[in-house]
């Protein structure tokens, strides 16, 4: 059993796994919305999940500022620890930039922006002719591919630690 001091706390773990599941769902719906357009409308759910990721990320950042993460295991090299820290930093940026760029695009659209149809979400003051909209579309797409690549690397690294190195890196977040 991993000692409590070496694990992330329950709130951090809950936020990690909740956001991870939502991000994976959104990456999938972002890639599949056009091929499945005649079968199911994924974009309204995609937008609502993105807004949820944005809110949960803000909660996660606030939590992270009030709580100290456990140190990396002694078995990790400085290089591995630096790589993990860099990837986590990029994840935080992506968890903010992806929903924000999507919110900009949705705000310039003609359809209402709702959170799972339960309530309207305010639109930002942007138009399709503005620079923010022109940048948001390509940014959203490219950042999505970056997010997917980093997620695959992150999962592969966690599995390497668990199955090959047999250390407690993965268990810290379990």
Q: How far apart are CA 109 and CA 105, in angstroms?
A: 7
pLDDT digits (tens, 9 = 90+) for 113-159: 999 999 999 999 999 999 999 999 999 999 999 999 999 999 999 99
Tell me the percentage of the chain whose pLDDT exceeds 70.
97
For each of the domains in the chain, give its residue range(s) and CATH number, in order of start: 4-173 (1.20.950)
User: Burial, 89: exposed, middle or buried (Cβ in 10 Å; 0-12, 13-18, 19+)?
Assistant: exposed
**Could you tell me the pTM of the whole model?**
0.94
Q: How far apart are CA 20 and CA 22, in angstroms?
A: 5
């Amino acid at each position: 059993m991993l000692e409590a001091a070496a694990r992330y706390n329950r709130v951090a773990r809950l936020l990690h796994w909740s956001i991870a599941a939502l991000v994976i769902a959104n990456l999938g719906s972002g890639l599949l919305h056009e091929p499945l357009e005649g079968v199911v409308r994924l974009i309204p759910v995609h937008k609502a999940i993105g807004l949820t990721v944005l809110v949960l990320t803000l909660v996660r950042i606030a939590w992270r500022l009030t709580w100290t993460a456990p140190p990396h295991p002694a078995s990790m090299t400085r290089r591995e620890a630096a790589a993990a820290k860099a990837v986590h930093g990029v994840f935080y940026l992506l968890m903010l930039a992806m929903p924000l760029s999507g919110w900009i695009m949705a705000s310039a659209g003609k359809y209402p922006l709702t959170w799972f149809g339960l309530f309207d979400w305010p639109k930002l003051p942007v138009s399709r002719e503005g620079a923010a909209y022109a940048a948001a579309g390509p940014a959203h797409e490219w950042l999505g591919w970056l997010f997917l690549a980093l997620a695959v690397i992150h999962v592969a690294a966690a599995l390497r630690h668990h199955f090959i190195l047999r250390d407690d890196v993965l268990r810290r977040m379990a």
